Amino acid sequence: MTRRVSEWVAILCMPTVLLLIRVYPWQPLRDKVAQSTTIWSADGELLRATLASDGQYRVWTPIGQMSPELVSAFLTKEDRWFYWHPGVNPFSLARAAFKTWRGRARQGGSTLTMQLARLIYRLNTKTPAGKFKQSVAAVWLEARYSKHSILEAYLNLVPFGRNIQGVGAASRIYFNKPPAQIDLGEAINLAVIPQHPAARAGRGLSQSRLLSAQARLAAYWINKNHPTDSERRELELPVLATTDSGIPMRAPHFTDAILAANPGASGAMVTTLDTDLQRVVERQIECYVTQFSDLGINNAAALLVDYRDMTVKAWVGSADYSNPEIHGQINGVLTKRSPGSTLKPFIYALALDQGVLHPRTILRDEPASFGPFTPENFDGNFVGPIPAQDALIRSRNIPAVWVTTQLRQPNLYQFLQMAGVSNMKPQSYYGLALPLGGGEVTMEELADLYAMLANHGVLRPLRTLQNEPGAEGARLLSPEASFISVDMLSHNPRPGEDSSLAPPGRWPVAWKTGTSWGFRDAWSAGIVGPYILVVWIGDFQAEGNPSFVGIEAAAPLFFRIVDALQLERPGEVIPRNDPPPGVSRVAVCAESGDLPNKYCPDTVETWYIPGKSPIKVSQLHRAVTLDISTGLPACPPYDPDSTRQEVFEFWSSDMMKLFREAGMPRRKAPAIPDCAADDTRGAPKIATPLRGVTYTLRRKSSGETIPLEAITEADVASVFWFDGAALIAKSTVTHGAVPWAPAADGIHILRVVDDHGRSAERDVTVRFTN
User: What is the helix (H) or strand (E) element at residue 218, kind and residue range?
Assistant: helix 207-225
CA distances from 300 to 234, 332, 441 (A): 44, 8, 16
Cite the DSSP H helix spans in 394-459.
Answer: 397-406, 412-418, 427-430, 443-454
Residues in the chain, overall count: 770
> Which H helix or E strand runs over 386?
strand 384-387
* Nearest-angstrom CA–CA distance, 736 and 718: 11
Contact 511, 374 (CB under 8 A): no
- Sign for the CA dihedral angle at 332, 337, 340, 344 comes to positive
DSSP secondary structure string for all residues of 505-532: TPPPEEEEEEE-GGG-EEEEEEEETTEE
Q: Characterize 642-666 residue by residue with b for buried, 16 or more Cβ atoms within 10 angstroms of its Cβ, and e for exposed.
A: ebeeeebbbbeeebbebbeebeeeb
**How many other C-beta atoms are found inside a 10 Å radius of the C-beta of residue 29?**
20
Indicate the SS3 state at residue 191: helix
Instruction: Report how far apart, in Å, the C-alpha atoms of 136 and of each of 104, 119, 144 are.
Output: 27, 14, 12
71 contact partners, CB below 8 Å, separation of at least 6: 63, 151, 155
78 is catalytic: yes
- Choosing from 41, 341, 592, 718, the catalytic residue is 341
Q: Which among 7, 69, 78, 186 is annotated as catalytic? A: 78
Sign, CA dihedral 325-331-335-339, equals positive
Q: DSSP letter for 577, please.
A: -
Rounded Cα distance, 758 and 348, in Å:
31
- Backbone φ and ψ for 359, nearest 5 degrees, come out as -60, -25
Among 192, 255, 194, which Cα is nearest to 49's?
255
Assess contact for 447 and 532: CB atoms under 8 A: yes
DSSP 632: S
**Annotated catalytic residue 731:** no
Contact between 164 and 173 under an 8 Å Cβ cutoff? The reply is yes
Q: Which residues are catalytic?
A: 78, 341
